[in-house]
Every structure is written in structure tokens, then in C-alpha cells.
Chains A and B, each alone.
Chain A
Amino acid sequence: MRFALLVSVFVVASCGLAYELIAAAQSSYLLGDSITQFSTVIGVYLFAMGVGSWLSKYITRDLPARFIEIEVMVGVLGGFSASGLFLAYASSAAPFKVILYGLVMLIGILVGLEIPLVMRLLEGEIRFKDLVSQVLSFDYLGALAVSLLFPLVLAPRLGMARTALLFGLLNIAVAIWSWTLFRTKVSRPRYLLALCLGSAVLLLGGFAGADKLTHLAEHQLYQDEMILAETTPYQRIVVTRWKDDYRLFLNGNLQFSSRDEYRYHEALVHPGLASLPWARKVAVLGGGDGLAVREILKYPNIQSVTLVDLDPAMTRLFRDAPILRRLNQDSLHSPKVKVIEADAFKWLDTHPEETFDFIVVDFPDPTNYALGKLYTNLFYRLLERHLVAQGRAIIQSTSPLYARKAFWTVVTTVESVGLNAAPYHVLVPSFGEWGYILVGRDSKEKLAAPPASIPVPTRFITPELWPALFTFPADMSRVPAEVNRLDNQQLVRMFESEWRQVIR
């Protein structure tokens, strides 16, 4: 029994340190600033252990039973600590820090109770000086084992949620073992066994469903059901569904809703392409969802579409996933479409021989300096070189209503490289009022002239809309702006500050 209890000390100590590390690592991960997180979590935890040790003197009767109960509580609380924290963060139901430190405090108190209780259980068995020396050495050994295992093996291999659950199970194992040792000495052995087994089942269930828990947490973030999710080196791709509405999120930003994406994509393609009946060769930069390509392929005169997208996972998803293939009408399977996995800026720079009749520029908004490069005069100069003499390009360029200065900055930047620009706007309900810039070497008037007809089926766009598209009401009319260059990247700052006014 003495050996058994000492082994328990080892395990209990491991678990105690593991929960502390998990809480600290998890909060660093979610809140950032690892120094603050580690030092506050460790501090609170140690303090709580002190509270636990002090409280231990109030436990006077039925020591083995209390020990088993404490083990079960530590196991369940600690085991679910990582997934619980993640869920709490995602749902933002309560202030995250309150939950974090509350949990750390609670686990700390329980862990603080463990060792004093074990020592008292062993009190009669061993002489005091041996007791102290043996219990404490196993305690420290356990701590050492975890401090090495956690960063080297457990965290990277199992992830936080599973690591926590694994230690929870170890606590329960100690509880069960203690039960076998003390079952004749405790007052309600069956109740204790049920407690142990019940919590073991709970934790095992959690272990099996750890992925679901993470999933659940993300679900909270996205509100709707997540039907596809993939993390690539470039971004987190999530597709959600609510009834028949499919939505694509990249890094948590909405890219389209299947309910109104036709408005966005028809407006992106037809005002340019309907006026180029001679066009044969088209490029789409960005737009790996294949939805712009779907609109382009409606034109029988188009012989080739070159889609340049950075993220192979995006184009693969939209080529292979049945729901998404239905959305883009299998456009990425068309023999006319050539998909190139490349950084568009770099690709244009290194392929000067490739010229196009029509280019669709459908990049993410300039939310950071890396993406901001795609909205600079250097990029547009390169774009200009890839357009044939009468060619045109269309640039999606944020909202002229919510980010008015940013929108007109893009217009000014395009004009600075000698292209003419005909900006227009469309209401896309899930985005709001959205802006596009049609560019080419033709005069602005010629660019903005309506086509006689749109020769392909459309749900939204018709030539009658032209005057409304190309007229900017007073609240989004042109404002003076400067050229966005690589060395200033003023658009990124402007975009951020303007959208900050809109999004709460």
C-alpha cells in the first residue's frame, strides 16, 4: 500500500503541474502575451494550492473517501479545463478571464489538498522523516516528468484538449486504485466506485470527441453549422450552412453567402465582359472559389480562363466538394480553365509574355500589409502590361460607402498608372454597398457605356441598371485621395480605420 500511495503521489503531482501548464499555455494562445499569462496563471495556481493545503486541516473524517472524491473532482475539472476554456473563449458567454482564473483557482485548491491528505493517509505506516522525504521526492519527480513530457511530446502530439483529458483520466485512475486499496475502510464504497467509473466514462467520451469539442467552439464563432473546415498554410477556410445558405469564411471574414453571391459575381464579371464580344482569353486573380469563373464561362467566345490563386486547398475544395461544385457549377472542371497555384503579384511579374483580353482582380480586402501590396500602383502597372490594347480589367475594391476614402484611393491609384477607371457599385445584402472599378485604356465614358444587351443569362444584372451602377450618390461620391504605393501603404491604415467605424 505504501508503494501504491507513493506512485499515486507521482501521478497526482504530474497531473497538478499539467493543469497549471495547460491553463497557462491555453491563455497565452488565446489572449497572447505569454509572459503575463504564464506568470499570472502560475501565481494564482500556487496561491490556490496554498489555500488548499490550509483547508486540508478541516478534513478530519473519512480521509480515504475524501481523497477519492478530490481526485475525481480534479480529474473532471482538470480534464475538461482546456476544451472548456476554448469553448468559453469562443462563446464569449462570460468574461473569459473570470472563467480562466476561477478555474485555475478551483483546480489549484483541489490540487493543494491532495498531498497533505496523502501524507496523512500514510502517517501511521511510515516514520515522519521517511514520509516527508519519500512523498516529496515522488511529488517532485512527477512534476519533472510532466514538465518535460508536456512541451516535448504531449502538447505537440495530442493537442491541449486531449492532453488535459489524458491527465484527467490519470487522476481518475488514482481514484480507482485508491478505492481498491481502501474499499473496506470507507463508508459508502459503491457510491465512490460509481463516482469514479462515471467520471472515467465522461472523460473517455471527451477524449473521443475532442475534435467535436473544438468544432463546437468554432461553431459558436460562426453561428451556423460548419460543413467544411480546413487550415492551410495561408488561411483557415470554413464553409457554413444555414438552411440553404452556404457561406465561405477565410480567417473568419465572410467571402460570400450563396443567397446573394450571384449579385456580387454577376456585377464583377458582366459589366466588363459583356462589352468585349471579341474576348478570348481571360485571367482571374484570386477567386479560387470558381464563382467568377462560372460567370465567365457563360460566354461561348471565351476560350481560356487562367485562374491564379495562392492557396491550392481553396481551389481543391471548390473543385472537389460536391456542395461547392454545385455552387460554382463545376466551373473548375471545365477544360477551358487552367488553375495556377501562385502568388498573383509574383506570377504577373515573372510571366510578362502572358497577356489577356479581360482580367478579373478578386483579391481579399487590404486588411494587412501583405495583402495591401495587391492594391499598389506597382501592381496596377504590372496589370496594365498584361492587358491587350483594348483589354479591360475589373477590380473588386471594398465598399465605397463604409470605406469611402479607401475605395477612392484605389481609383486614384489605378489612374496614376495611366489607366482609365470607371467605378461602379452594387448592393450585395450580405456585404452591403460594394464597389468595383472597371479599368482599361478606353476613355472613362466608353468604359461606362452600357452594352446593347447582356448576351448570357443573368439573375440580377441588365443593361438598364447601368446608370444606377455608375452613379455615385452624394454619400459615396468621389473624395480626393493619394496614390497607394508600396513605400507608404496608406490604404491598409485607411481601410482599417474606416471599417473600425462600421463594425462593432
Chain B
Amino acid sequence: MNRREFLAATGATLLATACRNTAPPLPPGELLGQDATLGHKLRDGSMPPPTEEKRVPVLIAGGGIAGLSAAWWLQRNGFSDFLLLEGEREAGGNSRSGKNAVSAYPWAAHYLPIPGVEAEYTRLLLAELGVIKGDPRAPKPEYEERYLCAAPAERLFIHGRWQEGLTPQHGVPSSERAEFARFDELIRGWRARKGRDGKRAFALPMALSSRDPDILALDRISMHDWLMSHNLKSPAVHWYANYACRDDYGTNHKEASAWAGLHYFCARTGEASNAEHETVLTWPEGNGWLATRLQEKVAPHIRTGHWVWRIGTDNGRAWADVYLAQENRSVRYHAERLIWAGPMFLLPYVWTDAPEAVRHSARAFTHAPWLIANLTLSAHPASDGGAEMAWDNVLYNSPGLGYINATHQNLQVRKGPTVFTYYRALSDRPPSAARADLLAADYTSLARQVMADLTPAHADLPQLVTRCDIWRWGHAMVRPTVGFVHGAARQQLASAGKAPILLAHADLSGLSIFEEAQYRGVMAAQAVLRRG
């Protein structure tokens, strides 16, 4: 015990605290999320029995991107005898967003890659919304510049410094960089590769990908093992691949299938006449912009606060028992066709007399829990002299996925107050355990985790954050684990939708992304229009 030790100890504490001057109390904020009590009521089957009967030709259960896209496609083709029922207070699903005095901000999905020619319906929608100018089927359409992500798109906080781009460079030894070059080379090869059936190895929507068994075999190993099988051992390469799997699939790269991992890197080959390769489309509210536009198009048909808690068939027609949250009663809808556009894990609870194969398959779907925080800042954090603030700001070797700067697309020069959307997929532990912890955690502990993850990169963050709202997504997205994407359960459900009950959800693709949700929605709508 002496003065030196004491000073060393204080010094160490101050190292953590003095750089940010003080450790102010946590900012105020709210803990948000889907209504878990309703979900549990649904699971327990304790909903009130229906007291009224209604009829509608087509019923869409679920107002995420799949359900909204089904509605959009029906309406676009002149069919308007349908209702879309959404259990939550707002439709939009994973593309929901919020807004405050500073900016609009996403609550989950925040961008869309420039769609390739295969993503026909995505392109048609973008053309309708004025995002694509001119012919949506052109190989390289022209895009509205405001929606193209402005430079700098990405930066990475690595070894105490912000660098440009996400490929780890700063402080990464040249041997690892050489492995990165080899990884890029392999990816380039897979991007261009076609299967024996002449289809692209990895297409978006995934249903258009090659069925070549050699390529599908990739689904039987993990992304991690695929890297190892190519003698890619660099921690930086593994971090990068793992980051991609966590970011898009909420699954770490030891669990995610190599087919899914490579799909992330290889499927997005869309090009624009007026944008750099790999530019993405984004909005301050993320994909909430798309969800809102879709809702506007079919607004008269949407009913929110309508929980579809039981569905079934009766003489070739479908029925649905719907809980009206505001009135605390249920209504039975009879419909010629019902599109189930909810997640698959709910299906066994809702469609209790589904064919055994359907129920069995639905149970094989696992979903990743996510935590998303929107931090409102009174000003942009001070620059540390490294790469400038980007749209996507990622932290190397962090448990989180970094943050998106909601005001990035602003035209103004001034960098004033802003909103950071912080993402974290809880992919370290089995989903059910991680989910239980997430739902049990209180605001303070979650907000602390968020601040602790970001503060090393922004010492002044605690002083700048005026609000931190946190959304807990218990079942954020389907997990494309080893063997899942091309396994029996997913393929069984993807083809299980038969009149009168059709299925539409990104879960059916095993990949929770906008294009997949939209594709499944449009497919279901087409089946309705064919009277199939």
C-alpha cells in the first residue's frame, strides 16, 4: 500500500472516466417492444371466444412487409376485396420506425441494397415510389440520388481509431490482409458462379437461386467451417464474416450456414446507372420509409390492433378468430382465402388443426432476439481525427453491430443534433435463453450495456445523449442455421401454402430481408389472383 499504487488505481479509473469528464446518470428513455402479454395469451389459448361473425373475400393476417406486399400486389392488380389485420398498434413489422424532433429513425431494418434484375417486384415497387427513374427492368436503372446512401457509407472503429470502410485495415498485420484478399477473391468467384441448372448460385429472392446439389451442400456446413476449409484463419476475416452473419441473420458464423453466409456476400449484385457498385438505398427512418409508403397505398384495408389468434378451414374456406384489443372481444372472419403473413413460430399455436407436417415443420424455425436502441444526441460526437462520421458506424470486436446515423442523408452541411440507431443481435447464446434474459432485463441494465459498448469510440457520448429508447425484439428474425435453409422443414412450409390458407413471410426463405418478405407476399397474392 503506497501512494503510487493508489495513484495507479485512480489513474486507471480516471482513464475510463476522465476522458469523458464525468459519468453522468443514464439518459431518460423507454423500454419498448411488441406486446408480450398478448403473445402469451395467444400461446395459452386464453383469448375470448368470438361474439360476432364477418365475411371478407380475402384476409391477410400480419402487417409486416410480406402482408403489406401481398396487399399492394392485390390492389395493383385491381383486386380490392381484402382486409389486412395487424395485431400491433402499427403495421410495418421489422420495418417499423419512429420520429422525434431531431429526426425520423428506424426501429429495425434500415436499408435496401440496389436490387438486381431478379428482384423484379422490388424494382417495380421502387419505380412506383419514384426511387427508380425510368425503366425498372433496365440492367442499370437510374435512382433518385437522395435515397442513395451518401459517402462515406461505412467506417470501422478498430484498435482505438476510426478507419474508412468495414474491411479491417488499421493495425491489421499484412498476413491477415493477404487472407482478406483471398477471401474477396473467393467471394468474387461465387458471385459470378452459376449452377448446372444455369441459375445463379446465389440469387435474391433466394427462390431463384440454383438448385445444384454441389451449391446446396454449402448449407450443411457453417460459415466458420467454410472459412476454415479454405484455410482462412485470420481473426479479421472471421470477425468480418461473423459480423455479416450477425448483422443480417442475428446468428453467429459458427451457427449460420455457409450457404446463407455466402448469400449475403454474393447475391447483391444490383447496379445503378448513377451509383457506385454496392451502394445501398436508405432513408432517415430506414425501411420504415418503404413500410409507410406501402401502408399509404392500402390504408383503407388495414386494421391495426386486430390479433389473429386462431385460424382454420371449413369446407374449402378459411376462418380466423380475431381479438380486437380495444374492445376486448373476438370476431370470427370467414374468407375465401387467408394469407398467413405472420412469423412461422406462431403457426402451431394459431393454426391448431394444421396438417401435422405443417405444425411439425413450423416448430423447426428458430428466431433470433435483438436489441435496438435509438439514442438522441444534442450534437454529433467530436471527431477523433480518424475517418469522418459515416452512415454505418461499426465497432470491431464489439458485442453490438454498431450504429446508423439517422441524419446522414440530410443535405445540410451543419452537423447538429442527431439520432443513432444502435443494433445488437443476441447471438452469443441459444436464442431462447438470450430472449428470456432480454425480456427480463430492466431499462437501466440494457441502457448501460448500450452506453458501455459505444463510449470507448465516443468519449463524449454520455454528455451528448439526451434520450435512449430501447426496443426488445424477442423473435426478430428467422435463423438460417446449418442445414436449415435447404432443409426439410423450411422447404416443406415454403410449399405448404395451399388454398384456402396461403403462407407469406420472409421466414419461408430462411432469410429475414425485405426482398424475401416482399417476394413471399407477392407470391401469395398471385396465388389468390389465380384463384389457386
Q: B416 contacts which chain A residues (CB < 8 A)?
A: 233
Q: A42 contacts which chain B residues (CB < 8 A)?
A: 7-8, 11, 15
Q: Is B297 an interface residue (CB 8 A)?
A: no
Q: Is B276 an interface residue (CB 8 A)?
A: yes
Q: B19 contacts which chain A residues (CB < 8 A)?
A: 28, 34-35, 38
A25 to B14, CA, bound (A): 10
Q: Is the CB of A369 within 8 A of B388?
A: yes
A103 to B415, CA, bound (A): 38
Give which listed residue, A13, A147, A378, contacts B145 with CB less than 8 A: A378
A349 to B146, CA, bound (A): 11
Asked, given contacts A150-B18, A369-B151, A370-B415, whether A485 binds B275 with beta carbons under 8 Å apart, the answer is: yes
Identify the closest chain A residue to B416 (Cβ): A233
A155, A368, A370 — most chain B CB neighbours (10 Å): A370
Interface mask (A464-491 → B, CB under 8 Å = 1, otherwise 0): 0000000000000000000001111100
Interface residues of B (CB under 8 A from A): 1-4, 6-8, 10-11, 13-15, 17-19, 21-22, 145-146, 148-153, 160-161, 274-276, 279, 379, 384-385, 388, 410-416, 459
Q: Is the CB of A486 within 8 A of B413?
A: no
Give the Cβ gap from B113 to chain A, nearest Cβ, in Å: 13
Give the Cβ gap from B454 to chain A, nearest Cβ, in Å: 15
Q: Is A134 an interface residue (CB 8 A)?
A: no
Give the Cβ gap from B157 to chain A, nearest Cβ, in Å: 12
Q: Is the CB of A38 within 8 A of B15?
A: yes
A344 to B412, CA, bound (A): 7
Q: Is the CB of B11 within 8 A of A489?
A: no
Q: Is the CB of A346 within 8 A of B8?
A: no
Asked, given contacts A50-B4, A136-B1, A136-B3, whether A373 binds B18 with beta carbons under 8 Å apart, the answer is: no
Give the Cβ gap from A235 to chain B, nearest Cβ, in Å: 11
Identify the closest chain A residue to B19 (Cβ): A34
A251 to B294, CA, bound (A): 46
Q: B274 contacts which chain A residues (CB < 8 A)?
A: 485
Identify the closest chain B residue to A364 (Cβ): B413
Q: Is the CB of A310 within 8 A of B21?
A: no
Query: 10 extra interchain contacts, Cβ-Cβ under 8 A, other than A136-B1, A489-B152?
Result: A17-B10, A21-B14, A34-B459, A39-B15, A136-B2, A139-B3, A486-B150, A487-B145, A487-B150, A492-B151
Give which listed residue, B17, B160, B411, contacts A151 with CB less than 8 A: B17
Q: Is A377 an interface residue (CB 8 A)?
A: yes
A16, A345, A369 — most chain B CB neighbours (10 Å): A369
Q: Is A201 an interface residue (CB 8 A)?
A: no
Q: Is the CB of A143 within 8 A of B6?
A: yes
Give the Cβ gap from A37 to chain B, nearest Cβ, in Å: 9
Give which listed residue, B13, B276, B412, contacts A343 with CB less than 8 A: B412
Give the Cβ gap from A455 to chain B, nearest Cβ, in Å: 35
A139 to B411, CA, bound (A): 55
Q: Which chain A residues numbered 1 to 45 have a C-beta less than 8 Å away from chain B?
A: 13, 16-17, 20-21, 24-25, 28, 32-36, 38-39, 42, 45
Q: Is the CB of B18 within 8 A of A38?
A: yes
Q: Is the CB of B2 within 8 A of A46?
A: no
Q: A126 contacts which chain B residues (CB < 8 A)?
A: none
Q: A349 contacts which chain B residues (CB < 8 A)?
A: 411
Q: Which chain A residues numbered 138 to 171 have a C-beta less than 8 Å away from chain B?
A: 139-140, 143-144, 147, 150-152, 155-156
A151 to B274, CA, bound (A): 50
Give which listed residue, B8, B13, B14, B161, contacts A46 with CB less than 8 A: B8
Identify the closest chain B residue to A369 (Cβ): B388
Q: Is A227 an interface residue (CB 8 A)?
A: no
Asked, given contacts A42-B8, A140-B6, A486-B145, whether A21 binds B413 with beta carbons under 8 Å apart, the answer is: no
Interface mask (A35-70 → B, CB under 8 Å = 1, otherwise 0): 110110010011001100000000000000000000
Q: B388 contacts which chain A residues (CB < 8 A)?
A: 368-370
Q: Is the CB of B7 within 8 A of A17?
A: yes
Identify the closest chain B residue to A39 (Cβ): B15
Q: Is the CB of B10 within 8 A of A147?
A: yes
4 closest cross-chain pairs (CB), A and B: A343-B412, A489-B151, A42-B11, A486-B150
Q: Is the CB of B3 within 8 A of A345?
A: no
Q: B152 contacts which chain A residues (CB < 8 A)?
A: 369, 489
Q: A373 contacts which chain B residues (CB < 8 A)?
A: 150, 411, 413
Q: Is the CB of B414 within 8 A of A38?
A: no
Q: A317 contacts which chain B residues (CB < 8 A)?
A: none
Q: Is the CB of B160 within 8 A of A33?
A: yes
A45 to B11, CA, bound (A): 11
Q: A488 contacts which chain B residues (CB < 8 A)?
A: 151, 275-276
Give the number of A-B contacts (CB < 8 Å): 130
Q: A34 contacts which chain B residues (CB < 8 A)?
A: 19, 459
Q: Is the CB of A345 within 8 A of B412?
A: yes
Q: B1 contacts which chain A residues (CB < 8 A)?
A: 136
Identify the closest chain A residue to B153 (Cβ): A487
Give the Cβ gap from B345 to chain A, nearest Cβ, in Å: 38
Asked, given contacts A21-B14, A46-B8, whether A32 binds B385 with beta carbons under 8 Å apart, the answer is: yes
24 pairs, A vs B, C-beta closer than 8 Å? A21-B14, A33-B161, A33-B384, A34-B459, A38-B18, A42-B15, A46-B4, A46-B8, A46-B11, A115-B3, A139-B3, A151-B18, A151-B21, A151-B22, A343-B411, A345-B412, A369-B150, A372-B151, A373-B411, A378-B411, A485-B274, A485-B275, A486-B146, A487-B150
Q: Is A460 an interface residue (CB 8 A)?
A: no
Identify the closest chain B residue to A31 (Cβ): B385
Give the Cβ gap from B376 to chain A, nearest Cβ, in Å: 18
A50 to B459, CA, bound (A): 31
Q: B150 contacts which chain A residues (CB < 8 A)?
A: 369, 373, 486-487, 489
Q: A21 contacts which chain B residues (CB < 8 A)?
A: 14, 18
Identify the closest chain A residue to B145 (Cβ): A378
Q: Is A374 an interface residue (CB 8 A)?
A: yes
Give which listed residue, A139, A346, A486, contacts B151 with CB less than 8 A: A486
A46 to B7, CA, bound (A): 8
A369 to B150, CA, bound (A): 9
Identify the closest chain A residue to B411 (Cβ): A345
Asked, given contacts A50-B4, A486-B151, whether A310 binds B15 with beta carbons under 8 Å apart, the answer is: no
Give which listed residue, B22, B160, B410, contacts A346 with CB less than 8 A: B410
Q: Which chain A residues numbered 227 to 250 have a C-beta less than 8 Å away from chain B?
A: 233-234
Give the Cβ gap from B349 to chain A, nearest Cβ, in Å: 45
Q: Is the CB of A147 within 8 A of B14?
A: yes
Q: Is the CB of B413 within 8 A of A20?
A: no
Q: Is the CB of B384 within 8 A of A20?
A: no
Q: Is the CB of A32 within 8 A of B8?
A: no
Q: B21 contacts which chain A residues (CB < 8 A)?
A: 151-152, 155-156
Identify the closest chain A residue to B414 (Cβ): A343
Give which listed residue, B13, B149, B385, B414, contacts A310 with CB less than 8 A: B414
Give the Cβ gap from A438 to chain B, nearest Cβ, in Å: 24
Q: A155 contacts which chain B residues (CB < 8 A)?
A: 21
A45 to B7, CA, bound (A): 10
A17 to B411, CA, bound (A): 46
A143 to B11, CA, bound (A): 10
Q: Is A371 an interface residue (CB 8 A)?
A: yes
Q: A487 contacts which chain B residues (CB < 8 A)?
A: 145, 148-151, 153, 275-276, 279
Asked, given contacts A38-B15, A369-B388, whether A345 binds B413 with beta carbons under 8 Å apart, the answer is: yes
Give the Cβ gap from A344 to chain B, nearest Cβ, in Å: 8
Asked, given contacts A33-B160, A155-B21, A371-B413, whether A49 binds B15 with beta carbons under 8 Å apart, the answer is: no
A310 to B279, CA, bound (A): 30
A156 to B149, CA, bound (A): 38
Asked, given contacts A35-B15, A310-B413, whether A486 binds B148 with beta carbons under 8 Å apart, the answer is: yes
A102 to B4, CA, bound (A): 19
Give the Cβ gap from A354 to chain B, nearest Cβ, in Å: 16
Q: B145 contacts which chain A residues (CB < 8 A)?
A: 376-378, 485-487
A18 to B279, CA, bound (A): 50
Give the Cβ gap from B209 to chain A, nearest Cβ, in Å: 28
A485 to B272, CA, bound (A): 13
Q: Which chain A residues numbered 432 to 484 have a C-beta less than 8 Å away from chain B?
A: none
Q: A17 contacts which chain B residues (CB < 8 A)?
A: 7, 10
A38 to B18, CA, bound (A): 9
Q: B379 contacts which chain A residues (CB < 8 A)?
A: 233
